[in-house]
């Protein structure tokens, strides 16, 4: 990679993965509205283009499969080339995997897809962000990982998703520790029932720990974006290590 050029010395630069829809799109729009330039990473170029059109400021759409090291390398090389630095990575890309499949019937390929996207993809992006943030001047930056309330308590038949989100917590702690000497802060936001396509099923009823089906409340995804923006705009001397943002009435506290 070329030496850092500091092209955009006044603006703040962010990478948002999973930026084509849902939480990623909402966060990208919030960052843009606050004056950030945002690199939009996702697997579907047409959805990234929709996000870019919805933003107020500078956007860099970049077709990226975060589970592929070559894609991740290309994404961060493009960020370094265009902007000369990176101030924020929001690790948001993720997949739940097949729902309603008992553990003993879960295909290995499905397990691998969830692990490769949710956990390995987060690691690869964080690794690439570390390289940029350590090399740039001034040194440092922030990483925010999308954990989920499943980092605390599982839903029925969600072994792959829950395992990766528990792993995300360990990754967040390690990134915080390893980034400390280089002014790289890392925090995690655990989100419950933000209104997106992924949570549309909550409105129809989802399995509960007691075997019943129940409709669950959802919250506006914009409220998640507001929280991420707050975390992102703290000075590097301060960090929200863990934050839980959820629909007030969802069955999380006391789940099971």
Any idea which residues carry the catalytic annotation? 161
**Crossing angle, helix 159-179 and helix 121-135, to 10 degrees?**
10
How far apart are alpha carbons 214 and 86 in whole angstroms? 43
Dist CA 228 CA 120 (whole Å)? 22
User: Could you tell me which of 127, 62, 135 has the C-alpha nearest to residue 91?
Assistant: 127
Give the residue among 239, 131, 227 at the shortest CA–CA distance from 176: 239
């Amino acid at each position: 990679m070329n030496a850092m050029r500091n092209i955009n010395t006044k603006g703040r630069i962010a990478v948002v993965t999973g930026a084509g829809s849902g939480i990623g799109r909402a966060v990208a729009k919030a960052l843009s509205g606050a004056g950030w330039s945002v690199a939009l990473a996702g697997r579907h170029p047409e959805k990234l283009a929709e996000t870019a059109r919805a933003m107020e400021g500078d956007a860099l759409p970049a077709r990226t499969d975060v589970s592929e090291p070559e894609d991740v390398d290309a994404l961060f090389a493009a960020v370094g080339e265009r902007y000369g630095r990176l101030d924020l990575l929001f690790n948001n890309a993720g997949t739940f995997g097949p729902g309603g499949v008992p553990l003993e019937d879960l295909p290995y390929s499905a397990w691998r897809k969830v692990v490769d996207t949710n956990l390995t993809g987060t690691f690869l992006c964080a690794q690439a962000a570390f390289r940029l943030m350590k090399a740039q001047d001034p040194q440092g930056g922030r990483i925010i990982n999308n954990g989920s309330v499943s980092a605390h308590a599982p839903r029925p038949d969600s072994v792959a998703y829950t395992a990766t989100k528990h792993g995300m917590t360990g990754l967040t702690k390690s990134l915080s520790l390893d980034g400390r000497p280089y002014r790289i802060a890392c925090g995690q936001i655990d989100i419950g029932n933000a209104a997106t396509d992924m949570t549309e099923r909550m409105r129809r009823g989802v399995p509960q720990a007691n075997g019943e089906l129940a409709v669950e409340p959802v919250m506006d995804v914009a409220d998640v974006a507001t929280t991420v923006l707050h975390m992102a705009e703290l000075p590097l001397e301060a960090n929200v290590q863990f934050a839980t943002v959820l629909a007030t009435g969802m069955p999380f506290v006391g789940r099971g």
